[in-house]
Structure 1
């Protein structure tokens, strides 16, 4: 016997057993008890499919009503008379529950438990429960008068999430509900006295606009740790207040004429060559998507358009929105073969960008997950993560610019509040183009605070014109009535129904539509020949209060099989593919699934690709989308956690089976499903791969999120089941996490990640352990923690062991890297001799076994050793070594190191007085650093560009770079560069004659430098501006003290002529300050000539 047949048999048996008790319980009581069972049986009989998932989460209002007074009657009456009275009382009360379409869950002695929202939900279940309670109070009084009794009622009502479904043992299971909301309703009933209706806070919140309540002191109830807020229901309000309505139906565009007119003006201006920015902001359901649809439907022939839509789960999926836009621009399907994708992209780039194909095509291809070959692959092969991201952004911007120049272009970014950070950066990069080419950017987003909202707010401040921002508002009552008439083609809507809809909808077009559709499906409004007629008043079928109530009410009206299909589709996300959905319907014929989809599409729960073509964009054949995201949310959250777990696992396995060659592309999605399926090993695997993909395109925020999620999954694996593979995976993930954190300047968390990685290593992995120690030291060195750096490098060398024959290449590579980084440590400590000692010992190893970038690094360290030994008076040999380091690094895949050697070459030119050459090298290094995302080298480049422009006398450039230095170095906690930023700003303040600025920045620079463990030799950068302002203010004593400080311990020597003039001024000032003014002024003039002031 099939499961469906067994379930049918059980329902029939249960109904038969209840029917047999009519003589005992009476007709009214039995009718109420079998009401829910008959609804379930009807669903089985009207569909050959399985029932919907057996149990589900539902928002339910529970009413407990206890009848008091039967005990006293039992002392006076015969038991048979008491039974008759009880049944008569139930017969009077139960129809009230039925009137409001509630379900009698059970009778417990002389107590009734009734449900509103299970098994079938209504849009206003809390209201129905309270109306039932009030009418029960009236009815018990009538009953007492009719039967000369003194019975009374006391009740408890509460709303909340419950688990609804079959409950019981294997032999007997009945439909019921479980959950804290049920328990609280029972406790409220127990706490109430005769004649009282106690209501929970959740129910009161949903119905306060309709009912009068008295707030009671919080009660201490059994099973509750904290006191519970309780309200006593007093009755209906004499004048009900307005309540917000609920989202809903698809409708003609009403009440948005002004916004549409303004958008059309912007599009017309676009067609004539003017770009711009449009932001549509507002709550869900206020008409953003419809405005977009109307805009695209009315585009001039000479305007092109494309749309990308973010989804609720794509905020962590790098470039999702941009990828969607690019696909729409190219008009290619998501499942298009790689050859078709490559051809479409190449042809489009060639058509739009002419001979620049090689500059654009290889950097757009990664957005479409297309694997490059040959020359094109070589262009990206050695790019670092952020470098590739930067080139991708530039290529996308250039491609959009080219398309916009050929044809005015409208780019639509929908649901921006769910956008991934990388796509937001692309949007930000396009903003300036709107003022240069005919490009119109239209973003639609919720009005809530979000990164997208911040971006657009900032854009409107920066690009005030030409921009249009619309904060969509609710419709007026007149506009809402127009919408209703347009939908129903009905002029004579009953006044009471019209007033209720307008009151409930509160001007939200989506709410109006959903309310009307609910009425249509309930049979209150019937459509005939394109026109509507009202069949009855709706006083007993009140309108919905909440979005969840409306959507759940519509869902519960579905036959079991379409409902089950909708539930399973919700696990796949808002957009889902039919063939993936089929894999979640094991044992169900494809034709039956299609029938369900047709029904869901007919009732506008979902839209297919062909249907969506009339909306804002087309999906691929076989793809569907939930018409409203809120529907998908409500359906998904109705599933039990256990059900979600099973379905997510099925979804993941389906994706693996259907798309075996796309596991890297789908890594984030697969990780998402396996994570929610609690399949920790698989989730960790795919989330880690997703992290590597994000890191590979330098989407740092996404990479960090994926690595952390992957590690969380590893931690979920039972320690007893963690084999060597799991430990290696944990170590690898922690190391990758540490690498990204180091790159982004989060050194403490980075070192913690490396420590965790070391703790998961197995015996025998000395090279990996050494590498992790060395990376820890590198992180410490960036923050000038010299002792910690040295200890970490010592540990790294200890793990490697001594030099010996037969060491593998990776051993030598690590050994060389440790020496190079130790030389860098000595450089920061001013230990030139130690640097040269390492160079002498390991030169042959570097030349014979080092990688190209290591050879470049070696020459760079030699150059820095000469620079240190010369006290920053670089020789020709020092310069030659720096140039050799650059040439040795050419062709390296490590662009971070390549940028560093270029930076050092610029640094040496700076100290040789070749300012223009120094600036050129530093700017080239800065560009490389930004491409690879090395924030540390970026900070160094900014710092010394400020110095170079300062010494070249270019105040505004110095100001700009010094300000940027201060901002970035502060984030990275690079104290010496924070101080350098202040010192350079002190010089800028001197140029501005800003005495307060000189004092502030100069003092701050010296304080920071003098607080470092090792002295910094550049005090002159702050001291000369301080000395100059002291001279101008006549504080000659202070000036002389500043000049003396120039010769403090470990300070770099001044140029010979400047040193002589300065010492002469100090000596003269010590004899007679006033007489020394000429010498002091000569010292300042000499400082200016030496480009130190």
Structure 2
């Protein structure tokens, strides 16, 4: 087989007396040449096919061949094997440029490591517009710090959490994953759970082995066996499921005893054990925690809960020489997390906290200013890292990396054009370069030996004129329109679900679509760099969160056909701009219909008990009913959530929920008046 990609003529050739229907063109000639090539062991492809399928298959490069219709020898490839989904490349091209900013943040961690008696928490705020590369910079710094710590044989706890706009009302939503990681790392350090035990557990059946069709999970709950805090925290978002997450360990065989460790911390800090139950059941959703809200007959104040969480976190991480907390989208952290962070600033030591936030988010800026005014000594411990556009040298580096060429052959004029078209915004730069790679709009000039625009591309540059950023934004929509209808439909559902979601969520919303087709659609979106699949690193500790004693789970669970999170897949949009582009293409009625389907699916999945259901799930359900303007469904949820928030002294958040419900009421009344008129 010879497979090529290009334009071809398809039609009748010949006169009226004698003609035939043919497909002809340079790409057809090349395919025929590849088919009969002596090097062909089964299938050969050209560079265009290889570029489209690179994420899904591994290829071997072969010597170029001469072909009719091509001025130069054509590079060809032989596909070797399919790449498993767990091994596919991320859409990220890694960190590009900003060396000074990386070094500035690295120096903070090095100072803490080298200080024999560290006694202060240091905060760094990475500030920039959306698309400026804040997340990539934070991840790059964490990776660099890991290497430095390993080189000096020090102990480190690093945790990253991403806040979302939809979760900013959920108490401790931004800090939950960070707290769970601290417990896990302590268990690994003190031997409660050994690396050898985890390796033995991992040596069992392959993680991704399916035990049945995912179709079985429609309308059923998930279990949380065998997954790390990062995967659990992500799963908790998906449709707001109220799932148990962790339990104490009865036999110590490769399980993280989250609740048991929390009780031990209570004992060491001389707190009543009820604090472990309150935090475990209400904030961390730990299996086995009693659903209580009282300590010795009274509800503890929010300040008491914050004090316990802060001291518990310090106690859990006191074995480490360095603690790095990386909070992405800092502008959306919930108020309870913010209170814990403030107290960590005052009491913590050897903690390096990074917060990435948008420069025009007033709430985040107020919080940053409040730290400075709250304690004068904090002024020397606050580091601001503002991010601006990429420089020309950094754009050349990005071009070299995306187009896989030596930067010495890249023409400076090309980099200048890319800068003028994108404004140096990293997300636009990468999008433009990916478009160049797909469309092959640059080529090496024979005279100068430099990489420049092709003649057709240069004419297009002249046509675009000054409205170039708008043209880049249009390219997002053009790429979306070029997708198959099924892929577009699935992506629209994903956009309504949020920035991150699970495969099982999409299956629930589309019960009429075969799950294999949904999987192929999501894979196509990943290959187009619209989505990123969340793949846990092989070296990441993936510890079981359930007790080893199955009998503790109850007979009802043992007899229910349940699936595990090992069978699910998790995705997120590669950038918020992609989600925005997808949502912008949807009609208002279409969005409302999807929100309604999601809400109805959540209600079918589990009976809601307003007084005891997870507050995060209730808020998620409220947001979906609110988005489809169903006041009769949203109002009871608003009352239940508001009362729960008031129990935690979160009056401002409670009022926000009530205000949203009242606005729905007014809008509903106005619509009824218009219909009546």
Q: How does 1:743-892 map to 2 (within 5 A)?
A: none
Deviation of residue 358 (structure 1)? 3.4
1:545 partnered with 2:450: no
1:294 is matched with 140
**Alpha-carbon distance in 2 for matches of 1:720, 1:417:** 34
**Alpha-carbon distance in 1 for matches of 2:328, 2:600:** 30
Contact 1:369 1:665 in 2 (8 A): no
Deviation of residue 637 (structure 1)? 2.6
Contact 1:415 1:446 in 2 (8 A): yes
**Alpha-carbon distance in 2 for matches of 1:348, 1:451:** 35
**Alpha-carbon distance in 2 for matches of 1:655, 1:612:** 31
Contact 1:476 1:507 in 2 (8 A): yes
1:578 is matched with 503
**Alpha-carbon distance in 1 for matches of 2:515, 2:443:** 33
**Alpha-carbon distance in 1 for matches of 2:397, 2:659:** 52
TM-score, normalising length: structure 2: 0.62
**Alpha-carbon distance in 2 for matches of 1:519, 1:720:** 48
1:707 partnered with 2:658: yes
Contiguous gaps of at least 5 residues in structure 2: 1-89, 184-227, 237-242, 250-256, 445-450, 544-564, 673-677
In angstroms, what is the RMSD of aligned CA positions?
A: 3.5
1:72-111 deviations in whole A, cap 9, x for unaligned?
xxxxxxxxxxxxxxxxxxxxxxxxxxxxxxxxxxxxxxxx
1:446 partnered with 2:358: yes
3-state SS, counterpart of residue 126 of structure 2 = strand
Q: How does 1:127-166 map to 2 (within 5 A)?
A: none
3-state SS, counterpart of residue 551 of structure 1 = helix
Which of 415, 419, 424 matches 2:338?
424
Contact 2:327 2:356 in 1 (8 A): yes
2:284 is matched with 368
Contiguous gaps of at least 5 residues in structure 1: 1-247, 722-1093
**Alpha-carbon distance in 2 for matches of 1:400, 1:630:** 35
1:670 partnered with 2:617: no
Which of 80, 102, 112 matches 1:270?
112
Contact 1:493 1:534 in 2 (8 A): no
Q: How does 1:317-332 map to 2 (within 5 A)?
A: 317-330=170-183, 331-332=228-229
1:488-532 deviations in whole A, cap 9, x for unaligned?
2324345654331122233322221111112223343599xxxx9
The verdict on how the C-alpha distance between 1:682 and 1:515 changes in structure 2, with shifts beyond 3 A counting, is same
Q: Which structure has the bigger radius of gyration? A: 1
Deviation of residue 282 (structure 1)? 1.1
Q: How does 1:1042-1081 map to 2 (within 5 A)?
A: none
1:630 partnered with 2:577: yes
Which of 437, 461, 474 matches 2:389?
474
3-state SS, counterpart of residue 321 of structure 1 = coil
1:484 partnered with 2:408: no
3-state SS, counterpart of residue 434 of structure 2 = helix
Deviation of residue 266 (structure 1)? 1.6
Deviation of residue 378 (structure 1)? 7.1
Q: How does 1:66-465 map to 2 (within 5 A)?
A: 250-272=92-114, 274=118, 275-298=121-144, 299=146, 300-301=149-150, 302-330=155-183, 331-332=228-229, 333-334=232-233, 335=235, 338=244, 340-341=246-247, 344-350=257-263, 355-356=268-269, 358=272, 360-365=275-280, 366-370=282-286, 377=292, 379-380=294-295, 382-384=297-299, 387-407=300-320, 408-434=322-348, 437-460=349-372, 462=376, 463-465=378-380
**Alpha-carbon distance in 1 for matches of 2:292, 2:356:** 36
The verdict on how the C-alpha distance between 1:263 and 1:566 changes in structure 2, with shifts beyond 3 A counting, is same
3-state SS, counterpart of residue 284 of structure 1 = coil
Contact 1:481 1:502 in 2 (8 A): no
Deviation of residue 613 (structure 1)? 8.7
Deviation of residue 380 (structure 1)? 3.6
1:671-730 deviations in whole A, cap 9, x for unaligned?
110111122211112222221221121211111111222334455667999xxxxxxxxx
3-state SS, counterpart of residue 277 of structure 1 = strand
1:593 partnered with 2:518: yes
1:26-59 deviations in whole A, cap 9, x for unaligned?
xxxxxxxxxxxxxxxxxxxxxxxxxxxxxxxxxx
Deviation of residue 479 (structure 1)? 2.1
Deviation of residue 590 (structure 1)? 0.3
2:4 is matched with none
1:692 partnered with 2:616: no
Contact 2:160 2:327 in 1 (8 A): yes
Contact 1:315 1:419 in 2 (8 A): yes
1:745-789 deviations in whole A, cap 9, x for unaligned?
xxxxxxxxxxxxxxxxxxxxxxxxxxxxxxxxxxxxxxxxxxxxx
3-state SS, counterpart of residue 166 of structure 2 = coil
3-state SS, counterpart of residue 666 of structure 1 = helix
Deviation of residue 664 (structure 1)? 4.6
Q: How does 1:921-936 map to 2 (within 5 A)?
A: none
Q: Which moved more, 1:321-330 or 1:407-416?
A: 321-330
TM-score, normalising length: structure 1: 0.39
Contact 2:127 2:359 in 1 (8 A): yes
2:482 is matched with 557
1:561-618 deviations in whole A, cap 9, x for unaligned?
2121111110011011211111222411000000011111122211122178999x99
